[in-house]
Amino acid sequence: MRDLSIIVLAAGQGTRMKSRLPKVLHQVANRSMLGHVLGLAQDMQPARLVVVHGPGEEGAAVAAEARAQAPDVLLAEQAERLGTGHAVMQALPALEGFGGTVLVLYGDVPLLRREVLQELLALVSAERPVAVLGFEAADPGSYGRLLTTADGQELEAIVEAKDATPEQLRISLCNSGVMAVDAGLLRRLLPRLSADNRQGEYYLTDLVALARGEELRVGLALCDEQDVLGVNDRVQLAEAERVMQRRLREQAMRAGATFTAPDTVFLSVDTEIGRDVIIGPFVVFGPGVRVADDVVIHSHCHLEGAVVEQGAQVGPFARLRPGAVIEAGAKVGNFVEIKNATVEVGAKVNHLSYIGDARVGADANIGAGTITCNYDGYMKHRTDIGKGAFIGSNTALVAPVKVGDGALVAAGSTITRDVPENALAIERAEQRMSEGWAARYRERKAAEKARRKG
């Protein structure tokens, strides 16, 4: 949309978050709130995208996140926090020469949807150069109230709650803060904003009254309240997470995945889940997970930065850490941790094992209690387990080490040297027997105990 530019206001201090982290950097579904807003903004392909951030270290952190999420972003600093109108003023230099529609978004409103913004933008025209996004609030509280025309289709004014009369406070139609304005009108009206109000701030919402004063029409688009949920404290952050998780689960299920207990599964915004996937209760997806078709993920698993290919099975109680690749038909069982390792086609790591910095070859079998000793206190080292190899239970593979195709490692071994193909490796003390020793031992101890009591 080359006739669209977007300004994202992200300079708020967020004191109610009680956090050293800037408010807009707090995460919902493992992406910063600012990241959600910028993702939506980029999806609309604006001609220019501007983020207004605050001063100092906090502002620098917000600017860095903005660049990370949107490399082509333009940045503007709001050194003094004098309201939303003042913030938009700081962005105007970045819009020099632009003549289309300017959309104003907020970095702490992570649940907005593209279709809502498209409805808002569709209202902007030569006859109606301003449009505002509103919603019916269950509890209007401190929201600005929308005063409409008699037919309810257009706006007359926006009144901030602190400046509203008792009658106006009874209005439930509220302002989201999201606004679309013709760029030329925005440049002309912003200098006319006044800070003559209880907050001593320049309200962007006063543009509506200024536009109406010039007998210009102001459009009104409506959305669900949750679409424009603003996050100001940890309680609202949790509510945003709840809504986002519900959306992500529904999206995955409608695309062909089965969640046996949906409310217990937590997804990241970038989680990819294929068709005919079955996900059990209490599964958590961190960032960067892709799950192919026909996969089964049993209960109480945690996945992050991992790929699970078609028909593989994971869990229950498994952990896939970054770099884990579980290939087609492979199995990762209970209390198994995989990190930076590939479990190839048809291989099995079924019980109580740690496989890190390794390759487990196709159709290999890893016995219970096996670990790859990948860290020497200074550096990480790789373990390579060949195709069809069999690793006995309670084996320690001290990396760097290679087990050849078809090789067998006896249970209880500590392997420190490479094992050739089809070889048997045994590293343990020879088993010895003393016939009748256990009975004689018990008799001796029983007699000793009796003496002590006597």
Q: Where are the alpha helices (DSSP H) in 195-298?
A: 206-213, 234-254
Mean per-residue pLDDT, 23-27: 97
3-state secondary structure 167-197: HHHCCCEEEEEEEEEEHHHHHHHHHHCCCCC
Together in a domain, 215 and 267: no
Mean per-residue pLDDT, 280-297: 98
Together in a domain, 266 and 381: yes
- Provide the CATH number for the domain around residue 150: 3.90.550.10
- DSSP-assigned letter for residue 288: S
In a domain, 131, yes or no: yes
Mean per-residue pLDDT, 36-65: 97
* Least confidently predicted of 110-114, 139-143, 271-275, 302-306: 139-143
What are the tokens at 426? 């045994």
What are the tokens at 93? 């230099």
What pLDDT is recorded for position 199?
Answer: 81
Catalytic residues: 351
Together in a domain, 325 and 204: no
Would residue 247 be called left, alpha or beta, if left means φ above 0 and alpha means ψ between -120 and 50 degrees?
alpha
What pLDDT is recorded for position 218?
Answer: 96
List pLDDT tens digits, range 56-89. Answer: 999 999 999 999 999 999 999 999 999 999 999 9
Mean per-residue pLDDT, 190-203: 88
* Least confidently predicted of 4-8, 163-167, 391-395: 163-167
In a domain, 65, yes or no: yes
The CA distances from residue 433 to 180, 428, 436, 442, in Å, are 86, 16, 9, 17
What pLDDT is recorded for position 442?
Answer: 94
Range of the structural domain that residue 212 is part of: 4-228
List pLDDT tens digits, range 424-449. Answer: 999 988 889 999 999 999 999 999 99
List pLDDT tens digits, range 329-361. Answer: 999 999 999 999 999 999 999 999 999 999 999
Continuous segment of H or E residues that includes residue 446: helix 437-453
Cα distance between residue 361 and residue 300, in whole Å: 26
Q: What is the Cβ-side half-sphere exposure of residue 377, based on CA atoms within 13 angstroms? A: 0
Together in a domain, 78 and 19: yes
Residue 163 backbone dihedrals phi, psi, to 5 degrees: -110, 5
In a domain, 327, yes or no: yes
**Whole-number average pLDDT of the chain:** 95
Residues 369 and 393 sit within 8 Å (Cβ to Cβ): yes
What pLDDT is recorded for position 14?
Answer: 84
The Cβ of residue 192 has, within 10 Å, a number of other Cβ atoms equal to 11
* Least confidently predicted of 49-58, 150-159, 326-335: 150-159
Determine the Cα angle at 229 with ends 223 and 234, to 5°: 170
Show which of 228, 245, 272 is a domain's final residue.
228
Per-residue pLDDT band for 1 (boundaries 50, 70, 90) equals low
Together in a domain, 155 and 281: no
Together in a domain, 178 and 79: yes
- Provide the CATH number for the domain around residue 396: 2.160.10.10
Instruction: Provide long-range contacts, Cβ within 8 A and 24+ apart, for 33-36.
Output: 33/107, 33/108, 33/109, 33/110, 33/231, 33/240, 34/8, 34/10, 34/62, 34/65, 34/66, 34/69, 34/107, 35/65, 35/69, 36/110, 36/111, 36/269
In a domain, 436, yes or no: no
What pLDDT is recorded for position 429?
Answer: 85
Together in a domain, 285 and 204: no
Show which of 228, 248, 279 is a domain's final residue.
228
Continuous segment of H or E residues that includes residue 307: strand 307-308
Mean per-residue pLDDT, 157-179: 92
Together in a domain, 213 and 275: no
Together in a domain, 64 and 171: yes
In a domain, 443, yes or no: no
List pLDDT tens digits, range 90-142. Answer: 999 999 999 999 999 999 999 999 999 999 999 999 999 999 999 999 999 88
What pLDDT is recorded for position 197?
Answer: 79
Residues 202 and 84 sit within 8 Å (Cβ to Cβ): yes
* pTM for this predicted structure: 0.91
Q: Which residues pair with 158 in a beta bridge?
A: 146
For residue 454, pLDDT over 80 is answered with no
In a domain, 30, yes or no: yes
Per-residue pLDDT band for 20 (boundaries 50, 70, 90) equals very high
* Least confidently predicted of 90-94, 150-154, 178-182, 342-346: 150-154
Cα distance between residue 298 and residue 440, in whole Å: 49
Is cis: bond before 420, omega within 30 of 0?
A: no
What are the tokens at 314? 């994971």
Domain count, the chain: 2
In a domain, 300, yes or no: yes
Q: Which residues of 241-272 are buried (b: 16+ CB within 10 A; e: fewer)?
A: bebbbebbbeebeeeebebeeeeebbbbbbbe
Together in a domain, 102 and 171: yes
Together in a domain, 267 and 168: no
Per-residue pLDDT band for 152 (boundaries 50, 70, 90) equals confident
In a domain, 247, yes or no: no
Together in a domain, 221 and 265: no
What pLDDT is recorded for position 154?
Answer: 86
